[in-house]
Amino acid sequence: MIGIVIVSHSRRLAEGVRELALQMVQGHVPIALAAGIDDPANPLGTDAMQVYEAIASVYSDDGVLVLMDLGSALMSAEMALEFFPSEQQQHIHLCAAPLVEGAIAAVVAASSNSDIQWVITEVQEALVAKATQLGLADCHLSSVISEEPMINDKGHTSQISLTVSNRFGLHARPAAQFVSCAARFQSQIKVRNVTKGSDFVRADSINQVGMLGVRQGDEIVITATGLDAEEALAALQTLVTTNFGEDKTPPPTSATPPTSDTPTLSSLQGIPASPGVAIAPCFRYRKIPITWDPTTSIEELPHYNVDNTREEWQRLQTALHTAQQEIQTLLSHSSIQIGDAEAAIFDAHLLFLADPTLLEASQQRIFTQHLNAEAVWQGVINEVASNYRRLDDPYLQERIADVVDVGQRVLRVLSGTPMTIVDVPQPAILVAADLTPSDTASLDPTRVLGICITAGSATSHTAILARSLGIPAIVGLPPEILQLTDGTQLAIDGETGRVWVKPEPETLVALQTKRDAHHTTQQQAITIAHQPGMTRDRHPINVFANVSSINHTQQAVNYGAEGVGLLRTEFLYLNRTTAPTEEQQLEVYQAIGQILEHRPLIIRTLDIGGDKSIPYLGVGLESNPFLGWRGIRFCLDRPLVLKTQLRAILRASFRHQIKIMFPMIATVAEIQAAKAILTEVQGELRQAGIPFDEAMQIGIMVEVPSAVTIANQLAREVDFFSIGTNDLSQYVMAADRTNPKVANLADALHPAVLCMIQQTVEAAHAAGIWVGLCGEIAADPLAAPILLGLGLDEVSLNPQAIPAFKGAIAQLTMPQAQAIVTAALQQDSATKVREIVNYEL
C-alpha cells in the first residue's frame, strides 16, 4: 500500500493533520510523521534523519508520498531521499501540494488502492474544491497546482567554464570562499575540474571542492540548477576572475634537502619553511594524546553500539558546536596576531565542520549502524584524509594536516580531554614531530624562537603561519632530531633549512653575522615605519595599532605605531574563573602605558558578549550574540564590573596619555549613562585623593548603523569617534562575519559601508571632534587611498601591517586619494571598488 509522510516544523501541527486525514477514510492508510526537533527550548524545526526514518517506516514499492509544510522541511526531505538506494528513490515522491488539503486528498485516494500517479494527481488538485466554493474556479491556480507532478523538480540548469588563475588554485582559503559563496544560494551547484578530468562534486562541500585538485591554470566547469542559478554563477565567476583577492604569482618550488648529505646529530638538513636565524636551547614538544591515537584506523578504535541514536547524534552535534566556538576564538586571536588574510586558514576549518557531506555521512552511520559518535567521526575523518592522500598533488596532500587538526579537536571534545596549548616555559627552539595549524597559531614568538619539525613542507599551513609570525622554521627534518634532550643547544637557518646541534664556535659566528645582517635590514624598514604617517604632499594621518596584550604593545612600537588606537581589554577577563581586580587591571594598563611612553593609548572598555561564554560574569552563549547582550549593554547592566575597570583606567591615566572608548553605542542614552558612571567614579577618586588625568578624552566606537545615523547627536557627547569597520560591515550588510557562508559579504570596502564611514567623518568634523578607524580593513594596502580620501584623522591596525600602510600613503597625494574615493562611492560592489583602486594606482 502507498505510504504517506507528513514533514512539518511543528509536531502538534503534524499530529493534527494526521488525525484529520484519517477521519476521512475507513480503511488503514500508513501515515508517518517527521515533525519538530528534540530541543525543549526551541522545538520547531525539521531533521533529515527523522524524515528518513519516517519514510522507511511506511516504505513500499507501491510508492511513498511526502508532503511538506515550508522552508527547511523541503531541504530535510531532499536530504533524506539521498540516504535511500537509487532503486528505492524512484518510488519516493516529494509533492508541492498544500499540507492539510493534500494529506486529506492523499489518504482518500490511497485508501481506494489507486496507483501512486493517480494519488499525486488527486493531491495536486486538492485546492480546486476550495477555490470553486470561493468563486475562484475561473482563476488560474498554477501557483499552487502544477500541470505535472512536482517530483524532485530542480528547474533549469546553467553552466559556465572558467580558468583559475590565482597562485595556488583552490587551496584552503579560496576553496573556503568558493564554498561559502555557493552556499548562499538556493540552487544546487556543482563543479568539476576539466583539466584533471574529474566528475562533478557538490560546491557546498569544502572537502569535495578541495579534492578536485584545482591548481593555477586549470579549467573548471560550474553548473547551477534552480531559480537563482544565474545569480549564483555570476557571483562565483566574479570570485574566480578576481583571483579570490590573491595575486597570480606562480607558486614557489618547495626546496628539498640535498641527497648527498648524510644526516648526523651534529648537522641536519630539512626543508626551509620560514626565513631567519635562531640560536637557542631545544624544547621538545610532545602533544598530549586524547583517549586514543587519532591516526589509527577505525578498526583499531574502541567502538560500541548505542541504543539511543538520537542522543548519540545530539552528542556529536554538541561536540561539533563546541569545536566551532573554539575555532572562532582561534580565528579572532589569529586575526589580531597575524592579520585577517592568513587567519582565513581557519575559515576553512569552520567550513569543514559544516560540510554537509561529512554531517550527512556521520548522521546516517549513527542512525543505521548504531555506532558511538567517536567511532563514526573518526571513520569519516579517516576517509577524508585517505581521499586527500590518494591525490597526486603534493600541495593538496598537505591538507591532511587540516583534516586531522579539525578531526582531533572534535574527538578531544567528545573524549572530555581539556584543551591545551603549546607552552614553552622559556625562549627556545621548538622541536616536534609535527604541529597542527591550531598549534602554530597559538605560539608566542617571544618564547618560540624557531621551529623544527619532521613533517610538513614549505607550503603547509604550519609553514605559512610561522612566516606570518616571523618565526624561523624548518620542516621535513630527519627523525633523529626527535632524539634530542631538552636544553640541547641548537642553531637553525630557516633560509637554507640547516640545523646545527651543539654548533661549533665558527658556525655560531657565521650565523650570528647573518642574523645581524637580517636584523639590520629589518631595522631599516622599521626606521622608515617609525617616521610619521604622511602623504607625498605632506598631509599627516596618525597610524596607531590594535593590541590585546603587553607583548603585543611592544611589537606595535617596534613596527612604528604612533600610539594604540584600540586596546582590547577582553584578554584580561578570558581564561580565568574570577573577574580581574582593579589592581590587576591597573598593573597591565600602567605597563602598556610605560611601553608607549608619550604615545596615546585608547582603552576600550569590556566588549564581551554571547559569542564567548564567561560563566563567572553570567555571560552565556546566545543564539545571535552579535545582536545580543554585549558591549556597553552588558556593562550598563553590570555597573560594578564597569566601575572597577573605569577606576583602573583612570588611575593608570595619571602621567600617561590614556583615552577611554565605549563600545557598541547605539543610542544617546547609552553614552550618557556610561558617562554618568564615569563621572561617579571620578568623584570617588577625587574624594580619596587619587590622581588621574582630569582632561582625559572620552570616545565611542561607531560600529552600529544607528550610531551613524545619529552621529551628529553623539558627537556632542564625546571627544572623538573610532569607527569599528569589522562590526559595522556585518551590521550594514546583515552578514555574520564569523559565519564563513556569508562572511565575504561583510566587506568594509563595499560602497554601502564606505558611505557610512563618510557620513560619520563628516558629522564628527562638523562637530569639531576627530575621528579614527580601528577595523582591520586598514591592513589592506588597497584601502589606504580610500581611508585617506575619506578624511580620517587616524587609523589603527594590526602592528605588522603598519609599515605597508605607511609606505602606501607615502606614495599618495590628498587630491589623488579624494579622486579615488569619489569614484569608489559610485560603484555597486566591493569588487569594483578594488578594481578602481588598482586602476588608479
Query: What is the C-alpha separation between 239 and 236, in angstroms, rounded?
Result: 5
- From the CB of residue 250, how many other CB atoms can be counted at a distance below 10 Å? 10
Instruction: Give Cα separations from 203 to 26, 174, 456, 783 (angstroms).
Output: 48, 13, 28, 31
Contact residues for 507 (Cβ-Cβ < 8 A; gap 6+): 491, 500
Half-sphere exposure of 184 (CA within 13 A, CB side): 20
Q: In terms of residues, how long is the chain?
A: 841
Q: Which residues pair with 568 in a beta bridge?
A: 604
**What is the CB-side half-sphere exposure of residue 2 using CA atoms within 13 A?**
24
Count the helices and strands in the chain (H runs, E runs).
33, 24
Helix (H, G, I), strand (E, B) or coil at 698: strand
Which residue shows C-alpha cell 648524510? 262
* C-beta separation of 448 from 424 below 8 A: yes
Beta strands in 175-250 (DSSP E): 188-193, 201-202, 219-225
Q: State whether residue 666 is helix, strand or coil.
A: coil
The β-bridge relationship of strands 658-662 and 601-604 is parallel
Query: How far apart, in whole angstroms, are the C-alpha atoms of residue 365 and residue 363?
Result: 6
Backbone angles phi, psi at 304, to 5 degrees: -150, 165
Rounded CA separation 185/196 (Å): 27
Contact 463, 475 (CB under 8 A): yes
In angstroms, what CA-CA distances link 248 with 216, 221, 600, 837? Answer: 8, 20, 40, 18
Question: Is 640 in contact with 616 (CB distance < 8 Å)?
Answer: no
Q: Which residues contact 270 (CB under 8 A, 6 or more apart)?
A: 257, 452, 474, 475, 476, 477, 478, 497, 498, 499
351 phi and psi angles, rounded to 5 deg: -65, -35
Residues 311 and 575: their CA atoms lie apart, in Å, by 30
For residues 210 and 149, the answer to whether their CB atoms sit within 8 Å is no
What does the block give as the cell for 488?
A: 640541547
What is d(CA 763, CA 766) in angstroms, rounded to the nearest whole number? 5
Q: How many CB atoms lie within 10 A of CB 192?
A: 19
Q: DSSP characters for 540-575? A: B-EEEEEE-SHHHHHHHHHTT-SSEEEEEGGGGTSS
| Residues known to be catalytic | 461, 774
The maximal CA–CA distance of the chain, rounded, in angstroms, is: 101
Handedness of CA 296, 299, 302, 305 (dihedral sign): positive
Residue 531's Cβ-side half-sphere holds a number of Cα atoms within 13 Å equal to 15
Q: 443 and 420 in contact (C-beta within 8 Å)? A: no
